[in-house]
Amino acid sequence: MKISIGSDHAGFRLKSALVDFLRAERHEVLDRGTDSEVSVDYPDFAHLVATDVEKGDARFGVLVCASGIGISIAANKKPGIRAAVCMNEDMAEFCRHHNDANVICFGQKYTTPDMAKKYLKIFLAAEFDGGRHERRIKKLEC
């Protein structure tokens, strides 16, 4: 599976660990940066990853900043993007089952690499339930 990933400086270490994890799991990774802990603006990286998902160049996106919140807000500005901050296993599973999330977001400040790997694995394996949830997803489109 092709996955686009990006972070700002405050998520760089966790993003790097997730890139290694995804490659070890034999996923094709589009690493959209950043490449260090030098201060950058999270919307730039959210836009790159969201565009990959929006255009179909990647099946899913992964974004990391300090809290996961700012980068998720930026990604959700793109049409067709449903970015969810996940801080536990249930959130990682149900954002796919009920919301058909296509971008998972993490906060490096709150999520260890082991936790993020577990949540990401759950996210990638989960399927959208459709049904009544499909109706709700359609209402998100403006």
The answer to whether residue 5 scores a pLDDT higher than 70 is yes
The answer to whether residue 129 scores a pLDDT higher than 90 is no
pLDDT tens digit string along 77-113?
999 999 999 999 999 999 999 999 999 999 999 999 9
Residue 112: helix, strand or coil by DSSP? Answer: coil
Q: Is the peptide bond before 34 cis (omega within 30 degrees of 0)?
A: yes
CA distance 8 to 34: 6
The answer to whether residue 140 scores a pLDDT higher than 90 is no
CA distance 2 to 40: 25
Containing H/E element for 119?
Answer: helix 113-125
Say if residues 3 and 20 touch (Cβ distance below 8 Å). no
- Point out which residues pair with 31 in neighbouring strands: 5
pLDDT tens digit string along 9-29?
999 999 999 999 999 999 999
Give Cα 127 to chain centroid, integer Å.
Answer: 15
What's this model's pTM, rounded to 2 decimal places? 0.97
- 135 Cβ contact partners less than 8 Å away, ≥ 6 residues apart: none
Mean model confidence pLDDT for the chain: 97
What mean pLDDT do residues 120-127 have?
A: 98
Say if residues 31 and 54 touch (Cβ distance below 8 Å). no
- Using pLDDT thresholds of 50, 70 and 90, give the confidence band for residue 42: very high
Active site residues: 65, 98
The answer to whether residue 121 scores a pLDDT higher than 90 is yes
Name the residue among 15, 28, 34, 20 with its Cα closest to residue 57: 28
Question: Residue 141 has what DSSP assignment?
Answer: -
Where do the domains of the chain lie? 2-138
Q: What is the CATH number of domain 2-138?
A: 3.40.1400.10
Per-residue pLDDT at 142: 64
